[in-house]
Amino acid sequence: MLWPSSGARAATLVQPAMMERRGDHLRIGSLPTKPPGLAGESAAPCHYVLRPMTASDIPQIVAIERRVFGADAWPARAFQEEQRNRVAYYFVLTPAPDAGPGVIAGYVGLWALSDAVQIVTIAVRPESQRGGLGELLVQRAFALAEEVGAEAVTLECRESNAPARRLYGKYGFAEVGRRRRYYQDNGEDALILTAPVLSAAARCRRDQLRSRHWARFGVVLRDETAGVEERRRAP
C-alpha cells in the first residue's frame, strides 16, 4: 500500500494512491432499505457494538470481502498493513453479546488526512444487510472527522452506483471531480465526492438523519470507539 505523502490534502482532491484499485465499497447490497416486515409493523430494537478492528478480526473481514466484492476483495495482508498505517482507523460492527453471536456484521476503514477523512472501504455482511448498518458506518466517518477537526469527508464511488449516490447525497456529498476509467473490471469512472463536516448546516443535517435512522431501523448502538483519536495521541 502507498501511504499519502505529507502534502496530501484530500479535500483539495489530492488523494492517496492505492496499491490495488478496489471495487466500489458501498454497493447496492450494503445500502439501508426498509427491513422486511408487515406494513406499519414496529420492529424490535437491534443491539450492536461498534469497536476498533483487531488482528483477530481480519479472517472474518476477509471472508466478508470475498462474498461482497469477489475479485475486488482485499487479501489479509492489506488489512494487516492498514493496522500499521498511522492515518488509518478501522471499526467493526458486531451484535451486542446479549443480542446474538459476536460475528462481524460490517466494517469501515477510514484515513484521517490533513484536512479530510477519507472512506477507504465499507462493507456489510450479506445476512446483515437491509438494516441500516451501512449508514451507521458512514455516520462514524463524520464522527471521526469531528474528532480530528477535519473539514470534509471524502470518498470515491462508481458513477453507476445510483443507490450509494443517493445515500451520499443525503449526507451532503457532492461531486468535485472524477477519475477516468478508474475501475479495472469495466473501465468505469470513479466519482470523487466530498461532504462538509463542521458547518452548522452540516451538523443539523446529520442530527436529523440520525433521528430518522433510529425511527426507521431502531438500532441501539454501544459505541466503544469514542475518543479513539485521543487514546492514539496519548503518550
Q: Which residues are catalytic?
A: 156, 168
C-alpha cell at 30: 450494503
**Cell 471499526, located at residue:** 91
3 state DSSP class of 181:
coil
Instruction: Tell me the C-alpha distance between 158 and 25, whole Å.
Output: 9
Strands 116-124 and 152-158: parallel
**Which class for 97: exposed (0-12), middle (13-18), buried (19 or more C-beta within 10 A)?**
exposed
3-state secondary structure of 79: helix
